[in-house]
Amino acid sequence: MNPLVAGPSSPEQALTMGVEEEFLIIDPETGRVVPVADAVRRRIGAALSDRVQPELMRFQIETNSLVHTDLGRLRHDLAGLRAAAAAAAESAGVRLAASGTSLLGNTGPPPLTPSPRYQRMHRQYGGVLQGQGVCGCHVHIGIPDRHEAVQVSNHLRPWLPVLQALMSNSPIADGADTGHASWRVVQWTRWPSSGPPPFFTSAEHYDALVDALYATGAIMDRGMVYWYIRPSHHLPTLEFRGADACATVDEAVALAGLVRALCTVALADVRRGLPAPAVDQTLLNVAYWRAAHDGLEGSGYDLLSGRRRPAWKLVGGLVQRARPALERSGDLAFVTEVLNRLRSGGSGAARQRAAYRRRHCLRDVAHLLVEQTRPPSETAVPAGASVR
């Protein structure tokens, strides 16, 4: 059974959540990616081996949480997975790093994981795969009714750029500052099926658009629907997939809490028959680019007011929208604490840049990434231990 499968939920129940985290495997002295994912996965304890998966490139792995309704349990779960994966990487002579892009890029033939599907992707899309191997954090929310899921997606569209700004964590690629807080977003837009989702009139409309993507060759299967929020193609969930790999466990948990709260509020609106905001697709794309460019340390485009505003003002609006659900679940204090840390210490992107600017040394950034990725000892469990 897939650990992210969630059961049905009623209005009285907290929505379930699960998190997928993608990580780079790097040489800590150079920051270069190292294609040894198989060696790392072999060192994962048996109890967690089915929850640490290969990814597109052989220098990536993905961890899958169990299903949770409590942020504290999710935090313990993700910390245990990170601790086990980090220990396995160290025993293989490499390190685990949570960053949206590789510091030194990925030149030459892509070191694809030997999967027939990935090989077919390479044949069909060619150079699109060059320089890929970007890493994100995906949050699954248990909304098994697909008609409700697509309506909730509509309600979340205005908030997707704000969530991206919050978790931007990929300013450095190919050995230099890209000028963007999230270069992963720029890299990922090469795929013809990526970007913020369109407005769906129904589940049938969603299916018709996906069928059209397949018919044109833009996707070769439903797993390649890369919209930043989508009904999962194999789980009874709505999947948010727009954020960079989160630098720390707490940032990943706060992201999950915010996404769940936004979905909870939106689902209540859907069930009351309230319409989603009519957000223009072009402006949504531009707002997402602005968020990827500036992150938290600049400005963003407010899709609801039509004005450019400081990023933290937009974060305040998002928290206000999510607040009723955060209070009801008891998550407001934790989420607020993490947001305060981001405001005082900087986003993941800002912290990478600060480390780089001290000596213009990528090794310093690599060391920062490794240290941030490793969970605090009080939240971690021994490598290979069972997480329940």
What's the count of helices (H) and strands (E) in the chain, helices before strands? Answer: 13, 13
pLDDT at 13: 80
Q: Is the pLDDT of residue 165 over 70?
A: yes
pTM: 0.94
Output the average pLDDT for the chain. 92
pLDDT at 382: 37
Q: Is the pLDDT of residue 385 over 80?
A: no
pLDDT at 132: 83
Cα separation, 121 vs 125, whole angstroms = 6
pLDDT average, residue stretch 185-208: 95
Which contacts (CB < 8 Å, 24+ apart) does range 214-220 have? Answer: 217/124, 218/192, 218/193, 219/192, 219/193, 220/120, 220/121, 220/124
Q: Is the pLDDT of residue 161 over 60?
A: yes
Per-residue pLDDT band for 377 (boundaries 50, 70, 90) equals confident
Q: Is the pLDDT of residue 206 over 90?
A: yes
pLDDT at 332: 98
pLDDT at 108: 67
Ramachandran region, residue 10 (left: φ > 0; alpha: ψ -120 to 50; beta: rest): beta
Going by the DSSP 8-state scheme, the letter that residue 223 receives in this structure is G
Domain residue limits, the chain? 17-373
Contact 381, 79 (CB under 8 A): yes
Per-residue pLDDT band for 381 (boundaries 50, 70, 90) equals very low
pLDDT tens, residue by residue, 126-155: 989 887 889 999 999 999 999 999 999 999
pLDDT at 378: 57
pLDDT average, residue stretch 98-108: 84
Please state the φ and ψ torsions of residue 19, each to the nearest 5 degrees. Answer: -130, 135
pLDDT at 162: 98
- Say which range, 92-106, 205-219, 239-253, 290-304, has the weakest mean pLDDT: 92-106
Contact 184, 363 (CB under 8 A): no
pLDDT at 131: 78
Contact 200, 229 (CB under 8 A): no
Helices 249-271 and 146-156: crossing angle in degrees, nearest 10, is: 110
| Highest-scoring range by mean pLDDT, 48-52, 161-165, 380-384 | 161-165
Which one has a higher pLDDT value, 334 or 28? 334
Instruction: Please provide the size of the chain in residues.
Output: 388
pLDDT average, residue stretch 218-222: 95
Percent of the chain with pLDDT over 70: 93
Pick the CATH number of 17-373 from 3.40.640.10, 3.60.15.10, 3.30.590.20, 3.40.50.300: 3.30.590.20
Query: Which residues, in sequence order, are bridge partners of residue 24?
Result: 60, 97
Cα separation, 216 vs 121, whole angstroms = 15
Q: Is the pLDDT of residue 387 over 70?
A: no
Of the CA atoms within 13 Å of residue 19, those in its CB half-sphere come to: 34
Cα separation, 190 vs 98, whole angstroms = 22
Per-residue pLDDT band for 6 (boundaries 50, 70, 90) equals very low
Cα separation, 32 vs 103, whole angstroms = 7
Q: Is the pLDDT of residue 4 over 70?
A: no
pLDDT average, residue stretch 182-200: 95
Residue carrying structure tokens 């369109």:
198
Contact 112, 126 (CB under 8 A): no
Which of 70, 258, 64, 277 is closest to 165 using CA atoms? 258
pLDDT at 12: 55
Percent of the chain with pLDDT over 90: 87
Q: Is the pLDDT of residue 65 over 80?
A: yes
pLDDT at 169: 98
Cα separation, 171 vs 160, whole angstroms = 19
Of the CA atoms within 13 Å of residue 195, those in its CB half-sphere come to: 15
pLDDT at 47: 86
SS3 257: helix
